[in-house]
Amino acid sequence: MSSIPSNLKFLESHEWARLESDGLVTVGVSDHAQSALGDLVFVETPEPGRRLSQGEAAAVVESVKAASDVYSPVSGEVVAANDALGAAPELVNSDPYGEGWLFKVKPDNPAELDGLLDAVAYGKALESEGH
């Protein structure tokens, strides 16, 4: 059973979003995603300054088995990318919701988060996919 923190929002494509106290949204991939991918070997993060639309492919997580696009849960401007992942992509595997964060976005409209899945809904989506 994969871990699904209750304070996060999710996309069906296994991204998570966390609204921080400073108004930024941190984005990563879920425990289920990192487990399915296997050991990550490379992560490509968006450049700070880049503008994203909700649902746009923003990053790539690459394992030996697959290279998957990571979609942005919100529209806005990228303000930070997790530089630690360059040397240590395995942080996404070991701590997908903490040290394994991918990038931070200054959202145009925080209300976009309301349209995402909450933890319960994401859990149900995983179950129906047969996980």
Partner 1 sequence: MIEPLIFTHSRPGRSAAAQRPQSAPTPAVPEKLRRKRRAALPEVSELQAVRHYTRLSQLNFSIDTHFYPLGSCTMKYNPRACNQFAMLPEFLGRHPLAPAEVSQGLLACMYELQEMLREATGMKGVSLTPMAGAQGEFAGVAMIRAYHRARGDHERTEIIVPDAAHGTNPATATMCGCTVVEIETLADGDIDIEGLKKALGPKTAGIMLTNPSTLGVFERRIQEVARLVHEVGGLLYYDGANLNAILGKVRPGDMGFDVIHMNLHKTFSTPHGGGGPGSGAVGVGQRLLPFMPIPVVGKEGDSYRWLDERDLPQTIGRLSAFMGNAGVLLRAYVYMRMLGREGMQRVAEYSTLNANYLQARLRKAGFDLAYPQRRASHEFIITLKRQAKELGVNAMDFAKRLLDYGFHAPTTYFPLLVPECLLIEPTETEAKEELDAFVEALIAIQREAEQDAAKVKGAPYTLPVRRLDDVRAAKQLDLVYQEGG
Partner 2 sequence: MPFIPHTEADVREMLTTIGAADIEALFSEIPAALRTRALEGAPQALGEMEVGRLMQQRGARDGRPINFIGAGAYEHHIPAAVWAIVTRGEFYTAYTPYQAEASQGTLQLLYEYQTMMANLTGMQVSNASLYDGASALAEACLMSVRAHRKSRSARMLAPATLHPAYLAASRAITEGQNLKFDVTPYEQASGLTQLAALEAHRGQDITAVVIQQPNFFGLLEDVDAITDWAHANGALVIAVVNPLSLAILKPPGEWGEKGADIVVGEGQPLGAPLSSGGPYFGFMTTRQELVRQMPGRIIGRTVDLDGKPGFALTLQAREQHIRRSKATSNICTNQGLLVTAATIYMTLLGAEGLERVAAVSQARTTELVEALTRIAGVKLMFDGPRFHEAVLQLDRDPAGVLRALASRNIVGGYDLSRDYPELGHALLVCATEMRTREDIDAYAKALTEILAG
Name the 3-class secondary structure at 63: strand
Q: Is 42 in the site for partner 1 (CB under 8 A)?
A: yes
What is the torsion angle, in degrees rounded to the nearest 10, for the CA atoms of residue 131, residue 59, residue 62 and residue 12? 10
- Of 54 and 63, nearer to partner 2 (C-beta) is 63
63: which strand partners? 40
Asked whether 96 and 34 are in contact (CB, 8 A), the reply is yes
Member of 12, 66, 110, 115 binding partner 2 (CB under 8 A): 66
The stretch near partner 2 (CB under 8 A) out of 28-36, 60-68, 88-96, 101-109 is 60-68
> Which residues of this protein are in contact with partner 2, per CB under 8 A?
42, 44, 57, 62-67, 69
